[in-house]
Homo-oligomer: A and B are copies of this chain.
Amino acid sequence: MKILVTGFDPFGGESVNPAYEAVKRLDDNIAGAEIVKVEIPTVFGKSINKLDEAIEKENPDIVICVGQAGGRFDITVERVAINISDASIEDNEGNMPIDEPIFEDGESAYFSQLPIKAMVQKIREGGIPASVSNTAGTYVCNHIMYGLHYLIDKKYQNIKGGFIHVPFLPEQVIDKRATPSMNLNDIVKALTLAIEAVVENKEDIKMPEGKTH
């Protein structure tokens, strides 16, 4: 089994992105699966093209994209991506789309085909807080997650895909008041556990992980 894992480059004034920092530290083999790592630019459109090229080249069985969710307390496995881009800040090439569909001929949303609750449970068993998230936002993270599933839907129907959001690193919150963070080693461990859960679980487990809002 081959798993492609992507992480974004820094954006929004940060000098580091915990997503790719963690991704590049992953072992090359996790639970018997070969891990291929790619850095993706935080740019609307171009990020999806880069992902498409990487899938074409690597022919993976699974694709997991990883992004920074500054302000979140825990590792969040995303459930769904929606067909809209609505930026509150410019991306790394100055784009700032407002309420634009990502693909006119795509579904209104795509649900992850990964075992998201098994991933959350496995991370928690490893002593790291995690939960299912029902929104990946409307910026480049949602964009790449939607793009990934659009590509799967249209071109790569044997692939399964998903997205994981990770918190700020401690060093990123020194000048931010009352903002949670997570150690890089813990993020690497959590991603590793999530990948193990993906390898181990063909079907997702049933456990309540919903949110009232």
Chain A residues in contact with chain B, CB under 8 A? Answer: 12, 67-74, 79-80, 82-89, 96, 98-99, 107-111, 117, 124, 127-132, 134-142, 165, 170-171, 173-174, 176-183, 185-186, 204, 206-213
Interface majority SS (helix, strand, loop, mixed), chain A: loop
Nearest 9 A/B pairs, CB to CB:
A86-B210, A109-B109, A183-B183, A138-B210, A135-B135, A69-B213, A180-B180, A127-B171, A137-B213
Q: Would A141 and B212 count as touching, CB distance under 8 A?
A: yes
Contact of A173 among B129, B142, B212 (CB under 8 A): B129
A181–B80 Cα gap in the complex (Å)? Answer: 27
Q: Which residue of B lies closest to A176 (CB)?
A: B129
List 8 A-B pairs, Cβ < 8 Å. Answer: A73-B180, A80-B82, A85-B210, A99-B204, A135-B211, A137-B213, A141-B213, A165-B213
Contact assessment for A111 and B124 in the assembled complex, using a CB-CB cutoff below 8 Å: no
A210 touches B88 (CB 8 A): yes
A208 touches B88 (CB 8 A): yes
